[in-house]
Structure 1
Amino acid sequence: MDLDAFIATHVGQWRRLEDLVRRRRLSGAEADELLDLYQRVSTHLSVVRSASPDPSLVSYLSALLARARHTATGTRPTTWRTFTRFFTETFPAALYRTRAWWIATAVLSVLAALAVGAWSVRNPEIFAQQMTPAEIDAYVGTDFENYYSEFPGAEFAAQVWTNNAWIAAQCIALGVLGLPVLWILAQNVLNIGIAGGLMASHGRASLFFGLILPHGLLELTAVFIAAAVGLRLFWSWIEPGPRTRLQSLAAEGRTGAAIALGLVVVLFVAGMIEGFVTGTDLPTWVRVGIGAVVEAAFLAYVFVVGGRAARRGVTGDVAESDREASAPVAA
């Protein structure tokens, strides 16, 4: 093939395609022309590669086609509208849709923690098996309370945020296996129950709840949500329903990822409360009241904003155009 003659014959079409891809807006006729030229230039590139693979010409045509493809298909950049839609529709709808799972997880976990605390109060020897009398006195007298005020607020908030985000991430990431989530929940229930029982057995129950509740209401809710998402992920392939196991796991995994992103913000708020409210000199009723108001606001967000979005058909999954194709199935 005479490469010079080939270039002379088609260079006009290439330049016209270059002109079209530079434009910010295209009319309907220009858009049709761009698609036609894209197909023609694709053919030209194929011919050059097979008959006379000149590196510079191949590179030029490849880059031109890439720009034309970008212009033709467009992009969906992340905008404030996307960000806002996530927190006003996707995230709350996902929480609302999975509410039965995380409410059940929360109720059972709290009851289990109370049971462990009550059992440890009736069996104080459990404390002696883990701590010396001096360690028990130090923990009850000063250590438990000082934990919330020994570090600067910002540093402490960042520390607990990172720790809780890691726990939540483990619950979701290991959810497909099931048992690790139950183990993480059990560890948290035992730690809270035994700590509460130790404080209560020494007449310090009011201090315990006064320091746990301000941040713990929201923090533990987030952990219970993460655990429930993990367990639901596990159940999605055990009982996939009318979908295949892979489809069921993929759908719940995408929803779980959306919830995980949103929980980062929820746990940040909980960390800020723990860092700047829990350990302060504010009256106990004020600190607990702040935690209760924030928790109530979160639940209202889920059940009002999330419920409204769910009734409009939002599920917390990615947009339909981003999902794998699937055939309709019978319910």
Structure 2
Amino acid sequence: MREVAFIKQNKQKWLEFEQAIFGKTKKNPDELASLYIHLVNDLSFAQTYYPKSKSVIYLNNLAAHTYQKIYKTKREETNRVACFFKTEVPLIVYQNRRYILYAFILFFVFTAIGTISAVHDSSFVRLIMGDGYVNQTLKNIKEGNPVAVYKSGSNWGSAIGITLNNLKVGATSFILGISGGVGTAWILMQNAIMLGSFQYFFYEQNVFWASVRGIWIHGCMEIFAMVIEAGAGLIIGASILFPKTFSRVESLKTGFKNGLKIWASTLPFTFAAGMLEGFVTRYSPDMPIILNLFIIFSTLGVISWYYLVYPFWVNRKLRNTITAN
């Protein structure tokens, strides 16, 4: 069967699924389970005969939503918080992985712009960071402690202040997705350009590795979470611009709900980054380099695994469950 005929033959059934899953029509769990069996068969057929088709992506996403709907009651009987982080968020991240990818692409492009601008314009760093910060950092470099700025204030004061600021930036980036993603991209651009010019400044002063040893102790989780939050904002923007078969309002509701869950999942990482910056980063110059690297790579590894690897594992497990049933 040609793919066009396959889609035409099953389109009405899939639309019925969408209506049931996204709340436009009411079906009991038994009816959903019956529809689910048909959906699984269609997914298996599409995976076999049209493996690179968008139909496979569409049906896989629809199957994941159906699975969540059917087993909602079962999930609520278990630890809701554990289920949220263990299953719900990874599936949503997987279903919206293209927007996470777009956020990372924008982040790297804007960071490169910041770096290149600093390379070709010696005043650019001062424009971005401010004269006071640059002058103080130059003084710290001369005194042999490039990241001394992180020693200012008390441990708790620094940790709380930094965490609140990061929460504000992340929430703003997410909410501005309502602008069609433009506001989200703007916030990401500001922070990425600042990062690129900031790191080049240390490179220009021949203290790049000293800055890496300090900044990225907390920076891995802080920056990574910022990109994920931007991805959540882009999901809202896409739900407004590209509602697909849904009304724009219904699409926005779904996009906002999914984006909100992804944003909420970054909160533990944001808090952890704040604690590291307030309590650990200030001691980085006196640490053995092995400990520096261990903290940097372990924090990067944990958050990278959760958002870039684990969602694929959860989705594969779901597909195996679907096939088995």
TM-score (norm 1): 0.64
Please, which of 298, 301, 313 is the counterpart of residue 296 of structure 1? Answer: 301
Give how far 1:249 is off: 1.0
Whole-angstrom CA distance in 2 between matches of 1:305 and 1:133: 43
Judging changes above 3 Å, is the alpha-carbon distance between structure 1 residues 288 and 197 closer, same or farther for their aligned structure 2 residues?
same
Structure 2 matches for 1:125-140, cutoff 5 A?
125-127=123-125, 136-140=134-138
Deviation at 1:200, TM superposition (A): 2.0
Matches within 5 A, 1:83-98: 83-98=81-96
Query: Paired residues, what number?
Result: 240
Q: Which has the higher contact order (CA 8 A, sep 6+)?
A: 1
Match of 2:287 among 277, 282, 294: 282
Q: Tell me how far 1:135 sits from its aligned partner.
A: 6.7
**Taking structure 1 as reference, are residues 96 and 152 closer, same or farther at Cα in structure 2, changes over 3 Å only?**
farther
1:188 pairs with 181, 186, 191, which one? 191
Equivalent position to 1:109, from 89, 107, 115: 107
Q: CA deviation at 1:153?
A: 2.4
1:159-238 equivalences in 2 (<5 Å) = 159-177=161-179, 178-238=181-241
Structure 1 pair 184–308 and aligned structure 2 pair: CA distance change class (3 A): same
Between the aligned partners of 2:129 and 2:189, the Cα distance in structure 1 is 21
| Cα displacement string for residues 22-71 of structure 1 (whole angstroms, at most 9, x for unaligned residues) | xxxxxxxxxxxxxxxxxxxxxxxxxxxxxxxxxxxxxxxxxxxxxxxxxx
Q: Pairwise mapping of residues 1-331 of structure 1 onto structure 2 (< 5 A)?
A: 81-127=79-125, 136-142=134-140, 145-177=147-179, 178-280=181-283, 281-311=286-316
Tell me if the contact between 1:215 and 1:273 (Cα under 8 Å) persists in the aligned partners: yes
- Seen in structure 2, the aligned counterparts of structure 1 residues 243 and 132 have a Cα distance that, compared at 3 Å, is closer
| TM-superposed deviation, 1:313 | 5.5
- What's the CA shift for 1:230? 0.7
Decide which moves more: 83-92 or 100-109: 100-109
Amino acid at match of 2:250: Q
Q: Which runs of 5+ in 2 are unaligned?
A: 1-72, 320-325
Distance in 1 of aligned mates of 2:125 and 2:305? 40
Distance change in 2, residues 1:284/1:228 (3 Å): same
- Please report how far the alpha carbon of residue 130 of structure 1 lies from its aligned counterpart in structure 2 after TM superposition: 7.4
SS of 2:280's equivalent in the other structure is helix
Q: Which has the higher helix share?
A: 2
Question: Does structure 1 retain, via aligned residues, the 8 Å contact 2:128–2:194?
Answer: no
Distance 1:193 1:153, change over 3 A: same
Question: How far 1:223 sits from its partner (Å)?
Answer: 0.6
Q: How far apart, in 1, do the equivalents of 2:131 and 2:187 lie?
A: 29
Shift of 1:89: 1.0
Q: Is the 8 A contact 1:161 1:268 kept in 2?
A: yes
Gaps of 5+ in 1: 1-74, 315-331
Q: 1:92 to 1:141 in 2, by over 3 A?
A: farther
2-side partners of 1:186 and 1:219: how far apart?
15
**Cα pair distance change 1:146/1:301, threshold 3 Å:** same
SS of 1:148's equivalent in the other structure is: helix
How far 1:239 sits from its partner (Å)?
Answer: 0.9
Q: What does the per-residue CA deviation read over 1:174-220, in whole Å, with 9 as the maximum and x for residues that have no partner? A: 21112221221121022212222322222222222222222111111
Q: CA deviation at 1:99?
A: 2.6
Give TM-score scaled by structure 2 length.
0.65
Instruction: Name the CA distance, whole Å, in 2 between partners of 1:198 and 1:139.
Output: 10
Larger mean Cα displacement after TM superposition, 102-111 or 253-262:
102-111
Shift of 1:134: 8.6
Corresponding residue SS for 2:118: helix
Q: How far 1:128 moved relative to its partner? A: 6.3
Structure 2 partner of 1:53? none
Q: Is the 8 A contact 2:217 2:281 kept in 1?
A: yes
In the alignment, the residues of structure 2 paired with residue 308 and residue 194 of structure 1 have an alpha-carbon distance, to the nearest angstrom, of 36
Q: Structure 1 CA distance, aligned partners of 2:160 and 2:106?
A: 29
Amino acid at match of 2:176: L
The C-alpha deviation readout for 1:115-162, integer Å capped at 9, x for no partner, is 422331332143566799897443223186122112232322222111
